[in-house]
Amino acid sequence: MLPSRIPSSKGCEYSSVWESAAGGGRWPIYGGTNEGFLFRLDARAGRAVNLGKPAVARGLRCLAVSKSGIVYGMTGEPEGLARLFRYSPADGFTDLGRPVLSQKALWRGHRFSAAACGPAGAIIFGEDDTQSHLWVYDAR
């Protein structure tokens, strides 16, 4: 158990939930909260280091760490449209916009609940909706 709490807004410390996680191995463990905060777990110091919020929206539904150590994730509330972001320890947050696919018909990504780094370096996101899709983001 960590002696410190995960990041939260003032007054919401007891309702903050660790919603997503990624990393490990040669990269730090990153976590996301239901309020939309990204944090880095510093296990040696026994604390969660708040890295901020990539978007105004609540919710940081899923995270993945690329082969180069860049964090990718989806923000957004369960019934809203998702938003893709990137976090680099050197450069901070970059908003990559809303995921939109336009092959046969226009499709906007709503709810995402899974993310992973693929073997070729692409980031794969999984939707959590009635008509779910896998989305591939070329992070190279």
Query: CATH assignment of 18-137, given 3.40.50.300, 2.130.10.150, 3.20.20.70, 1.10.4080.10?
Result: 2.130.10.150
pLDDT tier, 132 (very low <50, low <70, confident <90, very high otherwise) = confident
DSSP SS3 for 58: coil
Q: How far apart are CA 10 and CA 73, in angstroms?
A: 24
How many CB atoms neighbour CB 75 within 10 A? 24
Task: Report which secondary-structure segment, H or E, holds 125.
Answer: strand 123-127
pLDDT in tens, 59-98: 999 999 998 999 999 998 877 788 999 999 999 999 998 8
What are the residue ranges spanned by the domains of the chain? Answer: 18-137
Q: How far apart are CA 27 and CA 107, in angstroms?
A: 33
Task: Report the candidate in 81, 86, 77, 78 with the shortest Cα–Cα distance to residue 115.
Answer: 86
- Per-residue pLDDT reduced to its tens digit, 23-60: 877 888 999 999 999 999 887 778 899 999 999 888 99
pTM: 0.88
